[in-house]
Structure 1
Amino acid sequence: MTDATLDDQLASLFQEQDTKQDQNARIKELERQLREASKEADKLRNARDKAKKEVEDLRARNERLSEKAAASDKHRKQVEHEFNQKLVQYKARLAREQAIAQSRMMPMAAAEEQAESEDTADAASLEDLGLNAAAIRALTEAGYDDVAKVRKAHADGVIAEVKGIGPKAQSQIAEALDA
Structure 2
Amino acid sequence: MHSDHDIYDTDLEEEVFSDEDTIDEPIHSHNSKNYRILKAMDIRRLMEEDISKTSTILSVSTDISVALLRHYNWNITRANEEWNVGNVTLARRLILVATSTLVGIIDTVSAEHPIFPLLNILKPHGKLVMVCEPPKALELPVFLLLMGRKIMGGSIIGGMKETQEMLDFAAKHNITPEVEVVSMDYVNTNVF
Higher relative CO (Cα under 8 Å, sequence separation at least 6) belongs to 1
- Structure holding more strand per residue: 2
Structure showing greater radius of gyration is 1
Structure (1 or 2) with the greater helix fraction? 1
TM-score, reference length from structure 1: 0.27
